Amino acid sequence: MTIQEAQQEVDNWIKTIGVRYFSELTNMAILTEEVGELARIMARTYGDQSFKKSDLDKNLGDEMADVLWVLICLANQTGIDLTEAFRKNIEKKTNRDKNRHINNEKLK
């Protein structure tokens, strides 16, 4: 699935099953909540925190997909073509960092 297809799939789902988009501000708050849930699982899986019983049924991929879902909702609501935005973002990073990381002694 392409990013464009994902944006269309989310839009179709919202319009047929979800009734309507939540407001942009509500979705921003939901995105923050979903990132927090992802961070919790990352901290327990790769960090020093131990799992709680309530964390054991969480799936890392599902948590990442929740973040992506809400981000796509926000893009759809605000008229952002994520394919184009991502392409421009890669170009920006490439131009800005083309020598930065290769010359970083910490990464060698």
Query: What pTM was computed for the model?
Result: 0.89
Q: Quick one: tokens of 103?
A: 């010359």
Question: What are the chain's domains?
Answer: 3-107 (1.10.287.1080)
SS3 content of the chain, % helix, strand, coil (to 5): 70, 0, 30
Q: What pLDDT shows up at residue 57? A: 81
Q: Tell me: the pLDDT tens digits for 22-78?
A: 999 999 999 999 999 999 999 999 999 888 877 778 899 999 999 999 999 999 999
